[in-house]
């Protein structure tokens, strides 16, 4: 029998805005030793993707590692893969931005390593059918997707050990299915099991096995460094692969070589899809729990069989429905990208927008950085840089638009110094307040939500058992809480008004265990421009009486004053008017008249590859004016 071609690929990535010490630690403990061991043992060729954010960081902090990679590329030991330069989910971008991101990456690889890459690592393996035409136009010959993308279309697993062809709008690209079984064998199980699987595939007449996955598996995830290096998995794996190659059973290959040597399986049209875990993470909490229950009822044998692929969660874009904060970042990016195109695409703004398209902060699972404030802050900082460049010398102005595509218009106020977004539908809540000099959106505070892992999933045993290292499924299923964390009643923003009972205790308010006597709904809005700035008046009627009049006064330098007037007779006597400000960073705030203010840290409990983590998202400030005061004023941004 001929040897089976084994295309082995790793993807190395760190997000825009990640801490320098995290970057350095991964290079020292994962990325460098992995390639050095392969080089020592001559276990090549392999396929490698270095993400743009990591590539730029290495240029500034560890160019020697890139020189090492360059030598391996020159020696024909590595095939470098494309992606969007700043690791965006390509399907989520405007079409021109997709093409540009790939072109940036191709140019960066050509400049640094002297290669013209034509294969693509598809970020988070998020596929949409129309991507084929864009990839082909961008000069991509092949892309990597999960075998699950094929299985959900009715392909059988035994058909997937070869490339396939797909097209969109008459433009063709090849697709390599990544073998899920290999993803869970390497490096989590003893190398002998990988060898046995490759031999099994070869005995069945298959010509190709494809594995491409996160490089952080090889020492960056909990338990993997000890397993991969200290307990000898990597040395054993390399010895096993070398033995298979020398015995003529396996031939290590690049994906370009595999495309030339293995006949394609024919035509395939794939649906919108991502990897199995991602589709579950994208579901709302209640639906995710129902999916877990369904999987339990079907049983492991049924799920791992042909029927399992037909049990699916949601698509990646559903994170924009699940998390308003992700949607707001994404739609702000799209709006600025369009503005950038209309104004001649200044390069500084274009690059900042490219970095703001980095995927990590837009979603949440075991991975994904939505719950990490420093990653969201990095996105908003890049958006601030882009908008500051696009609004140079601009006077204070406004426009109406449905920025977040929820069917309700928002008021976008902006100048050369700041950008703000008011939602009249939410009673005039301030959903964004970005000051360009600081590069901070002070309204970027994550809402405390119920996540499915806040309750013990039915029928799943937690943790890793037996020989090997824990996979992500093991890590995820082992996460448990003894008590569910607080949940917010409304999505957070700056200036959410409530009328609260006078006897409400502060600790109940902090935990969200209360019922407001009144909250504003959609408000009538009037905008007035004048020499001193811009005034936005919002009125909420209660029957024939004015429940609340809220008036913003914006100055061009970003100073915001908010004035309230209300009719005390509309509300119960024993009550307090309590507008809440959720702040992502410290900023001077004044209250007039002076009043007691409840303040607390807004914390969330979320899962990561390290387990369940409590994270400070920002601070809540809630002044408590007696309802008979009838008026109040808040000022910030001075």
Measure CA 579 to chain center.
Answer: 31
Torsion of CA 484, 490, 491, 495, to 10 degrees: -130
Closest to 50 (Cα-Cα) out of 70, 36, 33: 70
Residue pair 448/459 in contact (Cβ under 8 Å)? The answer is no
- 124 catalytically annotated: yes
Please name the residues in contact with 71: beta carbons below 8 A apart, sequence gap of 6 or more.
none
Residue 585 token pair: 């960073």
Residue pair 11/218 in contact (Cβ under 8 Å)? The answer is no
Catalytic residue among 79, 97, 100, 124: 124
Closest to 427 (Cα-Cα) out of 496, 527, 481, 324: 496
| CA 482/CA 23 separation, integer angstroms | 33
Closest to 237 (Cα-Cα) out of 78, 43, 10: 43
| CA 542/CA 544 separation, integer angstroms | 6
| CA 253/CA 9 separation, integer angstroms | 10
Cα atoms found within 13 Å of the Cα of residue 222, Cβ hemisphere only: 16
Catalytic residue among 128, 180, 214, 444: 214
Helix (H) or strand (E) holding 285: helix 285-298
| CA 309/CA 164 separation, integer angstroms | 19
Closest to 163 (Cα-Cα) out of 90, 67, 259: 259
Residue pair 168/271 in contact (Cβ under 8 Å)? The answer is no
Closest to 352 (Cα-Cα) out of 365, 364, 339: 339
Residue 17 token pair: 């805005």
Q: Are strands 429-435 and 418-423 parallel, antiparallel or unpaired?
A: antiparallel
Residue 404 token pair: 């977040």
DSSP for 337-357, please give it. HHHHHHTT--HHHHHHHHHHT
Catalytic residues: 124, 214
């Amino acid at each position: 029998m001929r040897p089976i071609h084994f295309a082995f690929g790793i993807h190395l990535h760190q997000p825009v805005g990640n801490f320098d010490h995290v970057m350095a630690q991964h290079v020292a403990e994962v990325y460098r030793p992995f390639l050095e061991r392969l080089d020592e043992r001559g276990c090549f060729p392999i396929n490698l993707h270095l993400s743009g954010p990591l590539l730029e960081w290495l240029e500034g902090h560890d160019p020697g590692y890139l020189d090492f990679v360059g030598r391996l590329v020159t020696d024909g030991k590595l095939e470098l893969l494309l992606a969007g330069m700043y690791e965006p989910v390509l399907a989520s971008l405007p079409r021109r931005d997709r093409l540009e991101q790939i072109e940036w990456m191709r140019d960066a690889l050509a400049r640094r390593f002297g290669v013209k890459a034509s294969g693509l690592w598809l970020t988070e393996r998020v596929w949409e059918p129309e991507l084929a035409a864009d990839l082909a136009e961008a000069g991509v010959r092949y892309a990597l997707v999960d075998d699950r993308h094929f299985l959900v279309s009715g392909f059988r697993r035994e058909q997937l050990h070869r490339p396939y062809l797909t097209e969109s709008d008459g433009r063709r690209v090849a697709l390599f299915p990544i073998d899920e079984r290999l993803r869970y064998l390497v490096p989590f199980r003893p190398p002998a099991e990988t060898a046995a699987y490759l031999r099994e595939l070869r005995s069945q007449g298959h010509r190709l096995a494809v594995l491409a996955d996160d490089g952080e598996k090889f020492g960056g995830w909990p338990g993997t460094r000890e397993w991969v290096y200290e307990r000898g998995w990597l040395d054993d794996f390399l010895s096993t692969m070398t033995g298979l190659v020398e015995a003529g059973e396996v031939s290590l290959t690049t994906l370009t070589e595999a495309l030339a040597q293995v006949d394609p399986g024919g035509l395939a049209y794939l649906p919108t899809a991502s990897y199995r875990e991602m589709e579950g993470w994208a579901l709302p909490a209640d639906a995710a729990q129902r999916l877990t229950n369904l999987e339990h009822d079907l049983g492991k044998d049924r799920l791992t069989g042909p029927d399992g692929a037909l049990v699916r969660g949601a698509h990646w874009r559903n994170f924009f429905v699940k998390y308003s904060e992700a949607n707001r970042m994404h739609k702000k990016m799209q709006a600025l990208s369009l503005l950038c195109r209309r104004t001649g695409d200044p390069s500084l703004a274009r690059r900042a927008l490219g970095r703001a398209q980095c995927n990590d902060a837009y979603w949440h699972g075991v991975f994904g950085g939505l719950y990490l404030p420093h990653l969201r802050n990095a996105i908003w900082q890049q958006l601030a840089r882009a908008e500051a460049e696009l609004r140079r010398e601009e006077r204070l102005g406004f426009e109406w638009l449905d920025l977040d595509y929820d069917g309700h218009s928002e008021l976008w106020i902006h100048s050369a110094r700041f950008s703000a977004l008011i939602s009249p539908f939410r009673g005039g809540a301030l959903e964004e307040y970005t000051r360009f000099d600081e590069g901070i959106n002070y309204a970027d505070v994550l809402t405390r939500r119920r996540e499915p892992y806040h309750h013990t999933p039915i029928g799943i045993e937690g943790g890793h058992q037996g020989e090997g290292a824990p996979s992500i499924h093991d890590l995820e299923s082992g996460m448990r809480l003894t008590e569910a964390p607080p949940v917010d009643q409304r999505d957070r923003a700056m200036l959410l008004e409530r009328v609260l009972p006078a006897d409400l205790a502060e600790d109940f308010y902090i935990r969200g265990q209360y019922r407001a006597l009144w909250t504003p709904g959609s408000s009538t809005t009037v905008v007035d421009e004048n020499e001193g700035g811009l005034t936005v008046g919002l009125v909420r009627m209660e029957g024939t009486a004015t429940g609340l009049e809220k008036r913003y006064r914006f100055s061009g330098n970003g100073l915001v004053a908010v004035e309230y007037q209300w009719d005390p007779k509309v509300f119960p006597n024993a009550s307090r008017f309590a507008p809440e400000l959720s702040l992502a960073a410290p900023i001077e705030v004044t209250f007039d008249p002076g009043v007691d203010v409840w303040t607390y840290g807004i914390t969330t409990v979320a899962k990561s590859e390290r387990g369940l983590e409590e994270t400070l998202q920002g601070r809540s400030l809630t002044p408590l004016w007696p309802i008979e005061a009838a008026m109040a004023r808040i000022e910030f941004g001075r």
